[in-house]
């Protein structure tokens, strides 16, 4: 699994993404604790803030040693490294302060037997400021090794923005999955319903984020193809594992969503389903770890070791084989048909549920239309996998289409927004003849506009 670091640079690549990306997910859980006023969720988040504060130490040490190793490479900008180091030290110091404040509150609350709202809000404020500093640190850090961000945009085969987004986005499913899994295991041990639901939501969100991550990865492939020192064989090896990761994310995310949907109707979780999700999550995390390592090998020569040889055959692997196969019309047309049928399921379901929320069909309760949501989720699964195959057939053309980027963004927005329908307590209690709350109507409008935009964006690809 290549999780044992071979050098300071390798260790820094492994550990440095956790304080920044992890902080985003811990903040998400923390806000959930505030929204539900669940003490166990708040305490668990305080523990995670302490863990993130401790991670600042190995992040700093490995980063300092990495600078010494990278300073020997003439292609690395010393100015960028100095700027990154300065911002990094500042953000890590504030992260340590956040963790220390969380630790003090945990210790104090054990004696007082309750959490202090003032201390909890202080931790929240420190974490938000830390996150802002880490965004700057990460942006400068990514520019050090990622050559595609410094290439002439006119010479690239896909828009440079795709590569930039992939560098940022690819860490979210992996790190998010780690924190969701830790939180999920804690929820199972404590048998805490709020924590279980929050963890399942993050599993679903990570699965949804897997789609734009894969798409932007395909764009990065074209940006790096032909660049000196970049191996196409290494890119294909990473692409193969990314495809398996997409499957793993789908299994975990869909199973998690089904359990959230069932909980809404039954008011309880199925232990069998919960442990099935746990098994899927553990396997998926292992696949993602290998995917991340192979991705790191593309742009980070400093992590290469003699015992870990790089692939050399640019035509080997599953992805090039599928790419060649799907280009034949006999395979392309059926997948296009599946893709269009999937969109019909998605939009039909989104339309029916959203219209009820917006005030139509008030003769039935919201719980009645909520039952058809699995049809839309089935359509999403159909479209994700058929869409990935279609993208493999002619990725360069699709990625350069004007409407493809908005389509990908709207898929992400529309899919995440649908989660609201299974999470909102106020919406669930809407009975026949009653109006949905205004917040639900705004979400319903967002869902309709997003999926309508997805269909329009896909249909316009051949024409713009």
Exposed/middle/buried for residue 455 (C-beta within 10 Å: 0-12, 13-18, 19+): middle
Residues 139 and 245 in one domain: no
Nearest to 414 by CA among 343, 341, 350: 350
Answer whether residue 338 is part of any domain: yes
Q: 156 in a domain, yes or no?
A: no
Residue 90: closest CA among 119, 122, 59: 59
Same domain, 68 and 90: yes
Which tens digit of pLDDT belongs to each residue from 222-244? 766 666 566 777 777 888 888 88
* Residue pair 191/173 in contact by the 8 Å Cβ criterion: no
pLDDT-based confidence at residue 68 (cuts at 50, 70, 90):
low
**What local confidence, expressed as pLDDT, does residue 83 receive?**
83
Among 372, 342, 338, 380, smallest CA distance to 355 is for 372
Q: Are residues 323 and 450 in the same domain?
A: yes
Residue 194 and residue 290 share a domain? yes
Least confident of 144-158, 241-255, 419-433, 436-450: 144-158
The confidence score (pLDDT) of residue 207 equals: 94
Asked if residue 442 belongs to a domain, the reply is yes
Percent of the chain with pLDDT over 90: 47
- Model confidence at 155: pLDDT above 60: no
Residue range 289-322, pLDDT digits in tens: 888 877 776 766 556 665 666 666 667 777 777 7
- Together in a domain, 463 and 321: yes
**115 in the same domain as 18:** yes
Does 287 score more than 80 pLDDT? Answer: yes
Statement to judge: residues 55 and 107 lie in one domain: yes
Give the pLDDT of residue 75: 66
Task: Answer with the one of 304, 339, 359 that is the final residue of a domain.
Answer: 304
Tell me whether residue 160 is in a domain.
Answer: no
Domain co-membership, 175 together with 211: yes
201 in a structural domain: yes
| Cβ-Cβ contacts under 8 Å for 183 (sequence gap 6 or more) | 29, 44, 48, 195, 198, 199, 202
**Whole-angstrom Cα distance, residue 124 to residue 456?**
40
Last residue of some domain: 283, 304, 325? 304
- How far from 178 is each of 54, 246, 274, 288, 399, CA to CA, in Å? 16, 16, 17, 10, 30
392 and 367 co-located in one domain = yes
Q: How far apart are CA 95 and CA 83, in angstroms?
A: 18
User: pLDDT class for 145, splitting at 50, 70, 90?
Assistant: low
What does the pLDDT look like over 391-444, one tens digit per residue? Answer: 877 777 788 888 888 898 999 999 999 999 999 999 999 999 899 999 999 999
| Residue 150 lies inside a defined structural domain of this protein | no
- Tokens coding 456: 């329009």
Poorest-pLDDT segment among 132-136, 149-153, 298-302: 149-153
Specify whether 113 is located in the same domain as 31: yes
pTM, whole model, 2 decimals?
0.86
Please tell me the distance from the alpha carbon of residue 332 to that of residue 391, in angstroms, as a whole number.
10
Q: Is residue 444 part of a domain?
A: yes
DSSP 373: H
Q: How far apart are CA 377 and CA 381, in angstroms?
A: 6
Domain presence at residue 81: yes
The reported pLDDT for the residue numbered 1 is: 43
CA angle 413, 202, 1 (to 5 degrees): 115
CA distance 162 to 169: 10
Co-location of 295 and 329 in the same domain: no
Question: Do 272 and 396 have their domain in common?
Answer: no
Question: How many domains does the chain fold into?
Answer: 3
The domain of 402 spans 317-464
């Amino acid at each position: 699994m290549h999780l044992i670091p071979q050098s300071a640079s390798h260790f820094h690549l492994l550990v440095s993404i956790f304080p920044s990306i992890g902080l985003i997910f811990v903040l998400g859980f923390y806000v959930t604790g505030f929204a539900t006023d669940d003490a166990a969720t708040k305490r668990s988040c305080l523990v995670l803030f302490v863990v993130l504060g401790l991670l600042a130490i190995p992040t700093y040490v490995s980063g300092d040693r990495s600078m010494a190793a990278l300073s020997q490479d003439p292609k690395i900008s010393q100015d960028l490294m100095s700027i990154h180091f300065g911002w990094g030290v500042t953000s890590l110091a504030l992260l340590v302060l956040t963790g220390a404040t969380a630790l003090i509150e945990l210790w104090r609350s054990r004696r007082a037997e309750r959490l202090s709202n003032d201390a909890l809000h202080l931790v929240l404020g420190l974490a938000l400021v830390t996150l802002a500093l880490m965004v700057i640190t990460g942006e400068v850090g990514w520019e050090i090794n990622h050559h595609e961000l410094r290439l002439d945009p006119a010479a690239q085969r896909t828009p440079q923005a795709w590569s930039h987004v992939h560098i940022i986005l690819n860490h979210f499913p992996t790190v998010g999955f780690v924190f969701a899994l830790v939180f999920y295991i804690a929820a199972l041990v404590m048998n805490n319903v709020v924590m279980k639901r929050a963890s399942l939501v993050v599993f679903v969100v990570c699965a949804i984020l897997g789609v734009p991550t894969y798409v932007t990865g395909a764009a990065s492939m074209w940006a790096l193809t032909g660049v000196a020192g970049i191996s196409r064989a290494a890119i294909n090896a990473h692409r193969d594992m990314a495809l398996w990761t997409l499957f793993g994310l789908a299994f975990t995310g869909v199973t998690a969503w089904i359990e959230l949907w069932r909980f809404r109707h039954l008011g309880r979780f199925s232990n069998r389903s919960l442990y099935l999700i746990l098994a899927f999550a553990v396997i998926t995390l292992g696949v993602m770890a290998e995917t991340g390592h192979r991705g790191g090998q593309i742009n980070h020569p400093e992590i290469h070791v003699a015992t870990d040889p790089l692939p050399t055959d640019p035509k080997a692997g599953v992805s090039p084989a599928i790419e060649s196969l799907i280009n034949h019309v006999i395979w392309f047309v059926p997948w296009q048909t599946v893709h269009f049928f999937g969109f019909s399921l998605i939009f039909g379901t989104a339309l029916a549920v959203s219209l009820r929320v917006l005030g139509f069909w008030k003769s039935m309760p919201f719980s009645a239309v909520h039952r058809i949501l699995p049809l839309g989720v089935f359509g999403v699964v159909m479209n994700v996998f058929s869409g990935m195959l279609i993208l493999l057939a002619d990725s360069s053309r699709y990625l350069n289409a004007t409407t493809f980027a908005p389509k990908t963004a709207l898929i992400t927005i529309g899919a995440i927004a649908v989660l609201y329908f299974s999470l909102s307590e106020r919406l669930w209690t809407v009975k026949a003849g009653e109006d949905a709350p205004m917040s639900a109507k705004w979400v319903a409008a967002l869902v309709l506009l997003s999926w309508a935009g997805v269909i329009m964006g896909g249909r316009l690809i051949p024409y713009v």
